[in-house]
A and B are shown apart, each in its own frame.
Chain A
Amino acid sequence: QVQLVQSGSDLKKPGASVKVSCKASGYTFTSSGMNWVRQAPGQGLEWMGWINTKTGNPTYAQGFTGRFVFSLDTSVSTAYLQISSLKAEDTAVYYCARVDRDPLTGLYYFDYWGQGTLVTVSS
């Protein structure tokens, strides 16, 4: 069965960096793109972008350029989200989510999600 297992919660000081991992199992890692979604406390979900697991090419959503980097290690079926120069407003739960292709429409949608990683930024 498909599983996305994320790294555990992390507490960081402002200005530091954090790297969140998302280990996939139960399917061929390079067959599905990986997305990242943020949920700040008391807020809704925000799509951060995605990474093409075949080519490694990332696409960042508006508001998530510069300090946010998506990367892969296909040898261990793992996607990473790195955030640098952390700010208090980066405090949130970060989810990875796989996309699958709908064979009828050819469109992609989120079918499996990781359990989420809480990143807390506080001095």
Chain B
Amino acid sequence: QSVVTQPPSASGTPGQRVTISCSGSNSNIGSNYVYWYQQLPGTAPKLLIYRNNQRPSGVPDRFSGSKSGTSASLAISGLRSEDEADYFCAAWDDSLSGWVFGGGTELTVL
């Protein structure tokens, strides 16, 4: 069972906006930055968001991140079929002195 909780699945239709949540605690999300990764089927995870809400170069601005307290969210606007993937969040945990990950959310584009 993951220390950080994500919904196992999410879905939306093309063009819609979807949000994926990531819930943790004071020792991880509450006191450290959150990172988001996209994993397309059969490929390596790819960095989508760093430092809560920053996009690496090359990541479309349809992807955005936010954090409030011990929770974080990834929003995808203008949903496209190629966004169908697993998404997971990560944060450093001060109590564990290690990285913790959300269980991952499988996004389906209907």
Contacts and interface: CB of A to CB of B under 8 A. Distances in A.
Interface of A: 4, 35, 37, 43-47, 49, 61-62, 95, 97, 102, 104-105, 107, 109-116
User: Chain A: interface secondary structure?
Assistant: strand
Contacts of A113: 37, 44-46
Interface in B1-16: 1-2
Nearest to B47: A111
Interface string B92-110: 1000101111111000000
A44 B33 contact: no
Contacts of A44: 1-2, 88, 101-104
Nearest to B101: A45
Given A4-B44, A44-B2, A107 B33 contact: yes
A47 B47 contact: no
